[in-house]
Amino acid sequence: MRVYLDNAATTPIDKEVLAVMFGIMENQYGNPSSIHAHGREVRSIVETARKTVAKLLNTSPAEIFFTSGGTEADNTAIRCGIHDHGITHAITSKIEHHAVGHTLEELEKKGVIKLSYVNIDSKGTVDYDHLEELLKNNERSFVSLMHANNEIGTLLDVERVGNLCEQYNALFHCDTVQTMGHYVHDLSKLKVHFIACAAHKLHGPKGVGFLYVNYHVKIKPFIYGGAQERNMRGGTENVYGIAGLAKALEIAYHEMDEHAQYVQGLKNYMKDQLTQNFTDVQFNGETDPAKSLYTVLNVSFPESDMGDMMLFNLDINGISASGGSACSSGSNIGSHVLTAIGTNPNRPSVRFSFCKYNTKEEIDFVIEKLKQIIPVTV
């Protein structure tokens, strides 16, 4: 038996999505920029997908731009938003995805911006009062905070941050890669200027995503070339991927309530089983289900010298998961997220992440294997 509990890294592709993509690969091969019939047919596929995404997010198709994934979407929003609006101050947190953190750090190194870090607590929750202080005491800011942390699952109050950004005339970029398709994003109500999506996080294909750019915000292209994506992103469109993304998001919205209830049940079951079978386990991040991404469970096991060997031992026992311990003093190896929230670096930590295809039987299998790996039990 092999159990896959690393869905926050990538998800299995949905068979309905595959069917849509294969159908296009076999029959619609024209270049969407060509003006002949073959090209027009494929252009229609791209624009239909754009309309599908926009309708689900309650926004205009003109605000959706297809990209190669979340990293490109984040980079485009950050680099172009800052450059094209002459912004010299940015605010983020120490637990952002590297697509955000490293991009902002690079801009700071080059002297483009001054970078401020909002305080977070031991659960990874943003200090909203401190965020307001940073907004109030600096010139116009660019704020980049993720909707749900990809390692510990702690959720951001996007509405509250959006309101603060509006109050202080800041641009707000929110990485929604982990939450797209798992929560409703009503962009007609959210006061956000940029959001990012990667299709492979919601049972779609790898190598495709989108960037939402609010129509009040004008930016220039990040990738120059042809006139694709309404002159916003050069390069022939990944037509199969775009169609697959739209289908995956459509399925996700259709199944959202059922999916959320089922996956939250798996997460709760695993928490209960871990607590019952092992001494001194700790759950990293926000434990309130209303404030935590239901697909992610980050666990620290009792202190040992196992470290990253925990993931290796899981792997050889048929379990795919990810995570790792916090960074040890003087070392750059480990999780920057767990380090930022003060997790004990001597505790081996694992991120288990779930999807609609996982079962309780798989979790039982994982618990039994963990009993063989970890010697200390109740």
Residue 273 sits in a domain whose CATH number is 3.90.1150.10
Query: Do 280 and 143 have their domain in common?
Result: no
Q: Which residues are catalytic?
A: 327
User: Does any domain span residue 159?
Assistant: yes
Query: Do 141 and 84 have their domain in common?
Result: yes
Query: Do 349 and 227 have their domain in common?
Result: no
| Secondary structure of the chain as H, E, C letters | CCEECECCCCCCCCHHHHHHHHHHHHHCCCCCCCCCHHHHHHHHHHHHHHHHHHHHCCCCHHHEEEECCHHHHHHHHHHHHHHHCCCCEEEECCCCCHHHHHHHHHHHHCCCCEEEECCECCCCCECHHHHHHHHHCCCCEEEECCCECCCCCEECCHHHHHHHHHHCCCEEEEECCCCECCECCCCCCCCCCEEEEEHHHHCCCCCCEEEEECCCCCCCCCCCCCCHHHHCCCCCCCHHHHHHHHHHHHHHHHHHHHHHHHHHHHHHHHHHHHHHHECCCEEECCCCHHHECCCEEEEECCCCCCCCHHHHHHHHCCEECEECCECCCCCCCCEHHHHHCCCCCCCCEEEEECCCCCCHHHHHHHHHHHHHHCCCEC
308 pLDDT above the threshold of 80: no
Domain containing residue 202: 15-251
User: Does any domain span residue 378?
Assistant: no
pLDDT of 93-136, one tens digit each? 999 999 999 999 999 999 999 999 999 999 999 999 999 999 99
Query: Do 72 and 214 have their domain in common?
Result: yes
User: Does any domain span residue 141?
Assistant: yes
Query: Do 186 and 283 have their domain in common?
Result: no
Q: What total of structural domains would you count in the chain?
A: 2
User: Does any domain span residue 91?
Assistant: yes
Query: Do 165 and 77 have their domain in common?
Result: yes
Please report, for the domain that includes residue 176, its CATH number: 3.40.640.10
pLDDT of 141-153, one tens digit each? 999 999 999 999 9
Query: Do 217 and 269 have their domain in common?
Result: no
pLDDT of 222-265, one tens digit each? 999 999 999 999 999 999 999 999 999 999 999 999 999 999 99
Query: Do 235 and 348 have their domain in common?
Result: no
Task: Show which of 210, 236, 251 is a domain's final residue.
Answer: 251
Query: Do 199 and 268 have their domain in common?
Result: no
Q: Is the pTM of this model over 0.85?
A: yes
Task: Show which of 251, 279, 300 is a domain's final residue.
Answer: 251
Task: Show which of 251, 274, 307 is a domain's final residue.
Answer: 251
Query: Do 148 and 56 have their domain in common?
Result: yes
